[in-house]
Chains A and B, each alone.
Chain A
Amino acid sequence: DAGVIQSPRHEVTEMGQEVTLRCKPISGHDYLFWYRQTMMRGLELLIYFNNNVPIDDSGMPEDRFSAKMPNASFSTLKIQPSEPRDSAVYFCASSPLVLDSYLSKNGYTFGSGTRLTVV
């Protein structure tokens, strides 16, 4: 298995532009998570999906952020318009089950992340 695949690996954009980050979860994983990592705040959960349905988006910082999962093998995180404070590494992770018994034996699988720089 290729693992969780994210694209692009790096993105540099100007303030005000739209940015779209992409994620392909591991096949068969029912859960997909979007995280943001900064030096100041560490890893923060933005939103997660179960069977393509958004379950909890309370971590999404503001209306400029939106996420979709049109099918089981693809998700996007969009920022429009982007701002310099959005600069961070955005990780996607997937998991087949989110039950305590499963989590005790296995961990989430993270992608390699997208490093976003908004200038």
Chain B
Amino acid sequence: QQQVKQSPQSLIVQKGGIPIINCAYENTAFDYFPWYQQFPGKGPALLIAIRPDVSEKKEGRFTISFNKSAKQFSLHIMDSQPGDSATYFCAARRAGRRALTFGSGTRLQVQP
């Protein structure tokens, strides 16, 4: 049972483009939604996170949009660069707990 569904599986954009990665969840008990970035051969690292009391959070070129009623959230990367090429995972955490439930990942390639 996949509690957090992530799409697309892979994405190719040109430098300067705005890739968008989407995630959907079912469990309304989730209260924390982070995005992790993973480079080949490395462990995931936190990129940005949001709580459901806000609809958008921006950190540098990375923006999370959150739609509580639709139970969806997405990651936007502005002015994407080849260095952004990585695998991106969305995740969710239930209130009062620490363990994360991850999406299946999106492999992003930004072409020069």
Is B truly associated with A? no
